[in-house]
Amino acid sequence: MEGIDPKLLAKLKEEVQKKLAQRERECVEFWLAELQRVYQKQHRTLEDLKAELRLLIDKMRKRLDVIKTKGY
């Protein structure tokens, strides 16, 4: 990368790393909240819990499909 100021390059790299870390934190916080919601629910049977977990898994798969389709 000739012609780019090393200080500018380092600053840009740091900004990108911070943004990635922020997005990852937000993503993990979102899915943690979803799992906590499922965990705190009073499921009458194991089948009820499995059904709720299946819904969460489907939600996660759909989100991954959207991300893969848009190329993010």
User: pLDDT digit string (tens) for 10-68?
Assistant: 999 999 999 999 999 999 999 999 999 999 999 999 999 999 999 999 999 999 999 89
Q: What share of the chain is helix, strand, coil (3-state, %, to 5)?
A: 85, 0, 15
66, amino acid identity: V
DSSP label at residue 4: S
Q: Model-level pTM?
A: 0.73
